[in-house]
């Protein structure tokens, strides 16, 4: 069993038994990878019979599912990427993807893969739930950490009007009247959030931009349209998730929100999350990730693993606006959203 081909075969077979038919590292499906290994051997062992996928994991699209990649091509990213030769040491070399370029993350951070169940393997930092040394960092108040899980019956980390808000509409009324920072004075509309108020999957972005300010809806501009497609690619129709931002009023000229603005607005987000009670939170972009996790770690370090926000699993990925600018972030984003999807599937089965 010391032959690496045997090890790889065993690994792939385990993955398949867990219900995963997609080999995410290179977009190759498990059967194709096994066939390749078998061909590489002088006396190929018979491949085990394919197992049927069942249950919620059926909802995940197959590898290379065209939707989102096509969307990115449509956004002008495909042709550029198509000419990108894969780097010689990229695991994806076997099947160069015509749309996705070789990922720009170091191979070492891609080598491990979470099992299909989404349960992080012990000792795998990349997919570990926040390690003890990470656990306190990133949470608004260490004293609240123990036992507080957002959305638990009756629990709130807040006081006053916001704590008393028992529906999103209550929060919306408070946001509309809020003068805790200056942003309310320049807003056109409040952008509280939209989607299913009982969603298991919540997306948190940064702040409304121009289109959002004009429409009163989060993520409706160019990056919002890409977000909708990314969600569709993991079989989450936009209406089935809940989408909101850290900041509820547009910062003039889309400047970064100030720490005071974040502090003033954060209770609304926390109460929203308490009311929606998601099973997984996807933080898109540096700002949402660093704000929710109270860290200055770069997004490249935060993505690719599972954090906790008041007990709720939180996955970080690139902002769709960043993705439109930098096609090499497409692949890691795809990995991240599939990780979030697996956490959702696992939580839904539990």
Per CB under 6 A, 299 contacts ligand URA = yes
Rounded (10°) CA dihedral 287, 290, 293, 297: 160
| DSSP state for residue 255 in the 8-state scheme | P
Q: Shortest distance, CB of residue 318 to ligand URA, whole angstroms?
A: 4
Are the CB atoms for 293 and 303 separated by under 8 Å?
Answer: no
Site string for ligand URA, 95-114 (x = CB under 6 A): --------------------
Q: Tell me the CB-side half-sphere exposure of residue 207, using CA atoms within 13 A.
A: 21
| Residue 39 to residue 37: CA distance in whole angstroms | 5
Residues whose CB falls within 8 Å of the CB of residue 217, separated by 6 or more in sequence, listed in order: 191, 194
Structural contact between residues 290 and 297, judged by C-beta atoms closer than 8 angstroms: yes
Q: Does residue 224 bind ligand URA (CB under 6 A)?
A: yes
Nearest-approach distance from CB 93 to ligand URA, in angstroms: 26
Shortest Å distance, C-beta 311 to ligand URA: 24
Closest CB to ligand URA among residues 157, 246: 246
Q: State yes or no: residue 292 binds ligand URA (CB under 6 A).
A: no
Of residues 57, 286, 290, 291, which one binds ligand URA by CB under 6 A? Answer: 286
- 189 touches 214 (CB < 8 A): yes
Question: CA 94, CA 162: separation in Å to the nearest integer?
Answer: 54
Site string for ligand URA, 186-215 (x = CB under 6 A): -------------------xxxxx--x---
Q: Give the residue, chosen from 219, 242, 268, 309, that forms a contact with ligand URA under the rule CB under 6 A.
A: 219
- What is the 8-class DSSP label of residue 315? E
| Site size for ligand URA (CB under 6 A) | 18
Q: DSSP per residue over 65-95, as a string? A: -HHHHHHHHHTT-HHHHHT-PPPTT-GGGGS
Phi, psi of 43 (to 5 degrees): -120, 90
**Site stretch for ligand URA (CB under 6 A), options 83-91, 95-103, 218-226, 307-315:** 218-226
Neighbours of 173 (CB within 10 A): 15
DSSP state of 47: P
Shorter beta-carbon distance to ligand URA: residue 275 or 283: 283
- Does 313 sit near ligand URA (CB under 6 A)? no
Question: Using the rule CB under 6 A, is 291 a contact of ligand URA?
Answer: no
* 158 counts as binding ligand URA under rule CB under 6 A: no
Judged by CB under 6 A, the residue of 241, 318, 345, 346 near ligand URA is 318
* 257 touches ligand URA (CB under 6 A): no
304 scored as a contact of ligand URA (CB under 6 A): no
d(CA 206, CA 318): 12
* Residue 317 contacts residue 305 (beta carbons within 8 Å): no
Q: Interface with ligand URA by CB under 6 A: which range of 30-38, 140-148, 273-281, 314-322?
A: 314-322
Q: Across the strands, what pairs with 202?
A: 242, 281
Comparing CB distances to ligand URA, the nearer of 86 and 332 is: 332
Residue 251 touches ligand URA, criterion: CB under 6 A: no
> Which residues in this chain contact ligand URA in the complex, by CB under 6 A?
205-209, 212, 218-219, 221, 223-224, 245, 285-286, 299, 318-319, 322
């Amino acid at each position: 069993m010391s032959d690496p081909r045997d090890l790889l075969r065993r690994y792939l077979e385990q993955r398949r038994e867990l219900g995963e038919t997609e080999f995410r590292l290179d977009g190759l499906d498990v059967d194709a990878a096994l066939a390749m290994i078998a061909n590489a051997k002088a006396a190929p062992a018979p491949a085990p019979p394919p197992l049927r996928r069942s249950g919620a994991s059926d909802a995940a699209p197959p590898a290379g599912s065209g939707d989102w990649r096509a969307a990115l091509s449509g956004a002008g990213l495909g042709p550029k990427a198509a000419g990108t030769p894969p780097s010689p040491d990229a695991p994806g070399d076997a099947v160069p993807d015509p749309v996705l370029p070789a990922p720009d993350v170091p191979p070492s951070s891609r080598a491990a893969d979470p099992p299909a169940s989404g349960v992080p393997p012990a000792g795998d930092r990349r997919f570990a739930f926040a390690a003890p040394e990470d656990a306190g960092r990133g949470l608004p108040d260490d004293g609240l950490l123990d036992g507080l899980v957002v959305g638990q019956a009756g629990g709130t980390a807040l006081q006053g009007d916001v704590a008393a808000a028992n529906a999103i509409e209550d929060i919306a009324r408070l946001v509309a009247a809020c003068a805790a920072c200056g942003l309310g004075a320049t807003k056109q509309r409040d952008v509280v959030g939209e989607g299913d108020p009982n969603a298991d999957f919540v997306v948190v972005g940064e702040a409304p931009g121009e289109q959002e300010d004009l429409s009163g809806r989060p993520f409706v501009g160019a990056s919002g349209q890409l977000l909708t497609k990314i969600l569709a690619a993991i079989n989450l129709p936009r209406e089935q998730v809940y989408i909101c931002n850290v900041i509820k009023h547009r910062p003039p000229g889309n400047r970064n929100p100030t720490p005071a603005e974040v502090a003033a607005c954060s209770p609304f987000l926390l109460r929203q999350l308490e009311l929606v009670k998601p099973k997984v939170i996807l933080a898109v972009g540096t700002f949402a990730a660093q704000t929710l996790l109270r860290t200055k770690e770069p997004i490249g370090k935060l993505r690719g693993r599972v954090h906790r926000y008041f007990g709720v699993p939180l996955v970080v990925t690139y902002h769709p606006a960043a993705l439109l600018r930098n096609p090499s972030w497409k692949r890691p984003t795809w990995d991240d959203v599939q990780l979030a999807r697996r956490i959702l599937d696992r939580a839904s089965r539990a």
